[in-house]
Amino acid sequence: MFILVANLGSTSFKYRLFDMTDERLLARGGVERIGSDKSRSFVQVGEQRAENEQRVADHAEAVRICLDHLVELGCLQTPDDLAGIGFKAVHAEGVTGVHRIDERVLEAMESYADVAPAHNPPYVAAMRLLAERLPAIPLVAAFETGFHETIPPALRHYAVPKEWADQFGIKRWGFHGASHRYIAERAAALLQNPKAKIISCHLGGSSSLCAIEAGKSVANSLGMSPQSGLPHNNRVGDFDPFALPAIMRATRKPLEEILEDLASRSGLLGLSGSSNDLRDIEAAAKKGDARAQLALDVFVASVRQYLGAYLLLLNGADAIVFTGGIGENSATIRAAVCDRLDWFGIALDPACNLAASGETPIHDRTSRVQIWTMPTNEELIVARQTREWLLRSSQSTG
């Protein structure tokens, strides 16, 4: 069974093609700058990479071009070989889990365009186009919130009138589900302990911590929206809503503009004032830039607050796992997060931490808790969820 997992941006379409009989990654590719005269498509099969510049009008044309490439390269015999396209979808009103993308799901995602402003609008536009123009290919959405359905009520509810949760879904949904699910499964396998208590630290463009016990999410730092929890590259993280009237008075900006500031000009970018990329911020801090240093300090302090909370929640941990662009690559951030945890018996091995690449244990041999760097594989999780959905739906119709 061939499944394509799509990653959509407003002007980009990227994919990975899996043969799900053995979960093999066959190809990856995509199209960038969709809609411009400089659209560029690319495809990579093993070490072989091909690129092409041609105008690609929209996402449906981009998918068609990618399918043609995959046929030319022998990954598929015909485009009809594709069993379905899976999407890592973020948030929809009243919808979680895995669903065929139909008008009901699209409308539910559209209703939360302002709750997930960076994610939902480009996804809905592209999904609607694909559903219209490629009706023969099943499109399946695996929502990020699905993995967190096991979070208990005490950690799901905000202390607001309970009807808001019951009637309007105002609660901590949690996100990054595909990544944390992958880390839960992979770490349990590496530790050879299906009941392992794991704290998964996905630190990247968006960041979140997840407390996992026996493969299930019991807490996630992301709440009602992907703007919450830790500071993100340009999104705010946890914030007091009662600051809003004060900002509105002081800046005379309408609420929508301030929400836009919080969703795209805050986080590491807002604090540092210079970049949303941690590499730039680390370089600036090294040169003595105080704002860049503050951005790093706020980020690390926030990770440590959730780490401390989750150590308590789980009554200890078997492993702390770092993943995501920052988690995998920044030895400095990992060292700062794990600094002075000797009371917990948690200790990094500084040399292993510096040299880490890919799946690597980085704890000192005296540490009570293992510490790992681990590349995540959200696409594989979405491919598995899409396969399960397709098998279930063929059983129920067959």
Candidates 144-152, 165-173, 298-306, 324-332 — which segment interacts with ligand ADP by CB under 6 A? Answer: 324-332
Near ligand ADP by CB under 6 A: residue from 261, 277, 289, 364: 277
361-391 residues labelled b (16+ CB within 10 A) or e (exposed): bbbeeebebbbbbbebbbbbbbbbbbbebbe
Binding residues for ligand ADP, total number by CB under 6 A = 12
Near ligand ADP by CB under 6 A: residue from 140, 155, 278, 374: 278
Q: List the interface residues with ligand ADP, window 201-230 (CB under 6 A).
A: 204-206
Contact track, ligand ADP, 226-255, x by CB under 6 A: -------x----------------------
Query: What's the first-to-final CA gap in the chain, in angstroms?
Result: 17
Record the tokens describing residue 262, joined without a space.
């919080």
d(CA 245, CA 314): 37
Nearer to ligand ADP, 279 or 286 (CB): 279
Q: Counting contacts by CB under 6 A, is residue 12 touching ligand ADP?
A: no
Q: How far is the CB of 324 from ligand ADP (least distance, A)?
A: 4
Cα–Cα–Cα angle for 109, 242, 233, nearest 5°? 55
**CA distances (Å), 200 to each of 43, 63, 70, 258, 367, in order?**
31, 33, 35, 31, 17
Q: Counting contacts by CB under 6 A, is residue 325 touching ligand ADP?
A: yes
Nearer to ligand ADP, 88 or 99 (CB): 88
Candidates 116-124, 296-304, 308-316, 326-334 — which segment interacts with ligand ADP by CB under 6 A? Answer: 326-334
Nearer to ligand ADP, 223 or 324 (CB): 324
Q: How many CA atoms lie within 13 A of 330 on its CB side?
A: 25
Record the tokens describing residue 231, joined without a space.
């500071």
Q: How far is the CB of 205 from ligand ADP (least distance, A)?
A: 3
Q: Counting contacts by CB under 6 A, is residue 326 touching ligand ADP?
A: yes
Nearer to ligand ADP, 175 or 389 (CB): 175
Q: How far is the CB of 123 from ligand ADP (least distance, A)?
A: 15
Amino acid identity for residue 281 in this structure: I
Q: List the interface residues with ligand ADP, window 145-204 (CB under 6 A).
A: 204
Candidates 40-48, 92-100, 191-199, 277-285 — which segment interacts with ligand ADP by CB under 6 A? Answer: 277-285
Q: How far is the CB of 267 from ligand ADP (least distance, A)?
A: 10
Q: How far is the CB of 284 from ligand ADP (least distance, A)?
A: 12
Candidates 40-48, 135-143, 256-264, 274-282 — which segment interacts with ligand ADP by CB under 6 A? Answer: 274-282
Near ligand ADP by CB under 6 A: residue from 324, 369, 372, 390: 324
Contact track, ligand ADP, 330-369, x by CB under 6 A: x---------------------------------------
Q: How far is the CB of 177 from ligand ADP (least distance, A)?
A: 14
Contact residues: ligand ADP, CB under 6 A: 204-206, 233, 277-279, 324-326, 329-330
